[in-house]
Amino acid sequence: MKLLQRLSKNNVVFSSMFSKSLLSVPYSPIFFCYQKKIMKKITVLSILLVIITGASAQQNADLIIYNGKIATMSKPGEFRQAVAIKDGIILAVGSSKIILTGFKNSNTQLIDAAGNTVVPGLNDSHIHIIREGLHYNAELRWDGVKTLKRAMEMLKEQAARTPEGIWIKVIGGWNEYQFEEKRQPTLEEINEAVPDKPVFITYLYGKAFLNKKGIEVLKYSKDTKYDGSLVELDHKGNPTGMLYAKLTPKAIYTTLALTTVLNHEERLNSTQQYYHELNRFGLTSAIDAAGGGQNYPDDYSIALELAKQGKLTLRTSYYLFAQVKGREYQDYEKWVANTRLNKNNNMFIANGYMAEGAGENLVASAADFENFLEPRIELSKDMETDLEPIIRLLVKNHWPFRLHATYGESIERMLNIFEKINQETPFNGLRWFFDHAETITDSQLRRVKKLGGGIAVQFRMYYQGELYKKMYGEPDHQLPPIRRMLHMGIPVGLGTDATRISTFNPWMSLHWAVTGKTMGGYQFWPVKDVLSRFEALQLYGTGSAWFSEEEKTKGKIEAGQYADMVILNKDYFSIPIDDIRGIHSLLTIVNGKVVYAEGAYQKLAPELPEVIPSWSPVKFYGGYQNN
């Protein structure tokens, strides 16, 4: 033990190098002796010699990052200086001296972290990455814009360069509290900024703005109606341009589907640009929650094509979401029979692109629409009849599933179904979970725990906390109750639910987790329930990895883990808490390869194709506006 302590002072990480046998050192008498517990007879020099000449001779590193503040995320406050990587796997972490001496050869790429903080790559457990990839280049993003004045200027500038017949679209990622003016745009302002080209702007899941030209192009009139939604009319009976979701967001998303769609080549480019933007914020993995309008397999084909070419720069797991009401069971029956789960379609990255299971919506009648501009809706009386056979099918075939559920009232009915099925066909370790769960109760959490489920949470209340308060009053406990989930030992992952409500920037989600505040600064959570910085980052790592059954290989910087990591522009662990919102990556590594680089590391940046089409807002503004 004293010997191990002495070696620990030299920053040699034995949990990786020895006890886990992750250096893959060939059989030798020294290690045989070690296994026979005669460690006390081996000198410090002998052990270091084995590490340096035995292990590293067999596993010279492809890449070493040194001179950093490397957060291993194995436990709070544990930092190392250097990490050695080979074949996309972490070999070892330790002091710069030990790692450079033991693992460098003439072919090793060296990256000086220059004292910057290095963290494991972030993993969004609920994001609509595949769908957004298809549309990203066609959208003007207001994410991060600081004033409404600038947002309207961007709208006008984009209209000037947009060809006739093309829509100018702002789809989610913003609310009024990010603006200095603390208000939304008016229809008058939108029409003044863009009088001659169609404009469509969505606000959360609750409403959307159409300018006059947009109404004209769509030929909307007093006769335009959408079930569960409102097309607002003026005193003359003409559409004003305001669309409101009431029971459903059908008016908003049917209208969105009528706007500009990119062609195949543009969608390939758009997906690459979006993945690159996520890399800019340190994301290295994503779990796609599917979504409305995302048909399988057609709308997955772009990401699949890029994956097969090795051009996807995040490890991506995806779920399947039945789109046609009344045909959900037939779709899942077909997918269960014909879709192979966990088959990696990325030839260059382990677990690079693969199907994970079913969800987030499994059946239309179980969709509890989360529009906090309106009172909670009651799920259909047919929900149990519709959902039960699908859950039976999935459990019988041991297919993981996720289920969208905002309200405790919905979760109660869903759990009744799960427990009934579990009595007859045990879940038996099946990976399943709820998404969102803002108002889940303690008793329901205990039932989730008993069934072996998890909960993927997102920072929707960062955008909607004020709306919740206005509708239901001041909350008396944390929503969603993450602290209670963790206390009960329920798996929890963090994410964004980007992009139709919130931004894709994970550091905004982390800011919410460590402050409990909304974007507008309202203290929505009790202060006692906010997460520590370590806890929050852990939920964006190993926490989220649970939801794709990768918690043993992702989320830490230690030997044997995937070599996914990020050099940050600021020290997440020590900067003022509000400065977390300004964090981004200087260098992002996936599978031991640089996928994003800027500043002093710019020369390491991989080549990215030029943005197309030529009028794309991404070409002129990029994505998140943090400059």
Q: Domains of the chain, with CATH numbers? A: 2-115 (2.30.40.10), 121-556 (3.20.20.140)
E runs forming strands in 366-446: 401-405, 432-436
Q: What was the pLDDT predicted at 627?
A: 63
Distant-in-sequence, close-in-space partners of 197: CB < 8 Å, separation ≥ 6 = 159, 162, 164, 166, 167, 168, 213
- Pairwise CA distance, residues 446 & 426, whole Å: 17
CA dihedral 236, 241, 242, 246 (to 10 degrees): 80
Q: Is 437 helix (H, G, I), strand (E, B) or coil?
A: coil
DSSP string, 136-201: GGGB---TT---HHHHHHHHHHHHHHSPTTPPEEEESS--GGGSTT-SPPPHHHHHHH-SSS-EEE
What percent of the chain is predicted at pLDDT more than 70?
A: 90
Model confidence pLDDT, tens digit, residues 399-416: 999 999 999 999 999 999
Q: What was the pLDDT predicted at 626?
A: 82
Q: Does 505 have pLDDT greater than 60?
A: yes
Q: What was the pLDDT predicted at 47?
A: 36
- Pairwise CA distance, residues 400 & 223, whole Å: 43
Model confidence pLDDT, tens digit, residues 42-58: 333 333 443 444 444 45
What angle in degrees, to the nearest 10, is found between the helix axes of 383-396 and 408-424? Answer: 50
Distant-in-sequence, close-in-space partners of 604: CB < 8 Å, separation ≥ 6 = 111, 587, 594, 597
Do residues 445 and 414 lie in contact, with contact meaning Cβ atoms separated by under 8 Å? Answer: no
Cα Rg of the chain (Å, integer): 25
Nearest to 135 by CA among 625, 617, 537, 487: 617
Q: Does 10 have pLDDT greater than 50?
A: no
- Mean pLDDT, the chain, whole residue set: 92
Model confidence pLDDT, tens digit, residues 180-215: 999 999 999 999 999 999 999 999 999 999 999 999
- Pairwise CA distance, residues 545 & 122, whole Å: 10
Model confidence pLDDT, tens digit, residues 75-116: 999 999 999 999 999 999 999 999 999 999 999 999 999 999
Residue range 58-83: mean pLDDT, rounded: 95
pLDDT category of residue 1 using cuts at 50, 70 and 90 = very low
The CA-based angle 239-245-246, given to 5 degrees, is 110
Q: Does 21 have pLDDT greater than 80?
A: no
Residue 215 half-sphere exposure, CB side, CA atoms within 13 Å?
A: 24
Q: What was the pLDDT predicted at 571?
A: 98
Residue type for 137, please? N
Q: Does 16 have pLDDT greater than 90?
A: no
Q: What was the pLDDT predicted at 59?
A: 65
The CA-based angle 368-372-376, given to 5 degrees, is 45
* DSSP bridge partners of 70: 80, 118
Model confidence pLDDT, tens digit, residues 450-480: 999 999 999 999 999 999 999 999 999 999 9
Instruction: State how far the alpha carbon of 451 is from the alpha carbons of 105, 357, 504, 560, in Å.
Output: 50, 18, 31, 30
pLDDT category of residue 396 using cuts at 50, 70 and 90 = very high
Residue 608 half-sphere exposure, CB side, CA atoms within 13 Å?
A: 26
The structure's pTM equals: 0.92
Burial class of residue 443, CB neighbours in 10 A (0-12, 13-18, 19+): exposed
Nearest to 405 by CA among 387, 393, 390: 387
Q: What was the pLDDT predicted at 370?
A: 86
> Residue 326 CB: number of other CB atoms within 10 A?
11
Nearest to 541 by CA among 127, 126, 128, 121: 121
- Pairwise CA distance, residues 91 & 22, whole Å: 7
Model confidence pLDDT, tens digit, residues 245-289: 999 999 999 999 999 999 999 999 999 999 999 999 999 999 999
Q: Higher model confidence: residue 530 or residue 57?
A: 530
Do residues 119 and 600 lie in contact, with contact meaning Cβ atoms separated by under 8 Å? Answer: no
- Pairwise CA distance, residues 493 & 499, whole Å: 18
